[in-house]
Amino acid sequence: MAAENRSNQTLKIYNKTGKLIVTGEKGKGTATITGLAAGTKVAEGDYQASFSDGTNESDKVPVPTFNVLPSEG
């Protein structure tokens, strides 16, 4: 099955309470959660993600577990 065309969509990230915290750049399929300390372990479901074309929005899905890496520099 071919991947869905996301060129006209943005990735939206919501926190546990359902509040939109970040919207990615249109067509990139990525979004950056800022303000987390290096070494933070984020559990699956702490954030949810969806795609939106500005009119329609996909169902929210849990963001998988991830660790915040130290910044380079």
Q: CA 25, CA 40: separation in Å to the nearest integer?
A: 25
Note whether residue 47 is domain-resident. no
pLDDT, tens digit, 9 for 90 and up, residues 23-64: 999 999 999 999 999 999 999 999 999 999 999 999 999 999
Q: pLDDT at residue 71 above 80?
A: no
Q: CA 37, CA 53: separation in Å to the nearest integer?
A: 31
Model pTM? 0.85
**pLDDT (0 to 100) of residue 33:** 94
Note whether residue 53 is domain-resident. no
Residues 6+ apart with CB under 8 A from 20: 12, 13, 14
Residues 6+ apart with CB under 8 A from 8: 26, 27, 53
Which structural domain, as residue segments, surrounds residue 12?
Answer: 1-33
**pLDDT (0 to 100) of residue 3:** 62
Note whether residue 13 is domain-resident. yes
Note whether residue 8 is domain-resident. yes
Note whether residue 59 is domain-resident. no
Note whether residue 6 is domain-resident. yes
Domain count, the chain: 1
Q: CA 69, CA 16: separation in Å to the nearest integer?
A: 21
Q: pLDDT at residue 73 above 90?
A: no
Query: Quick one: tokens of 36?
Result: 């987390």
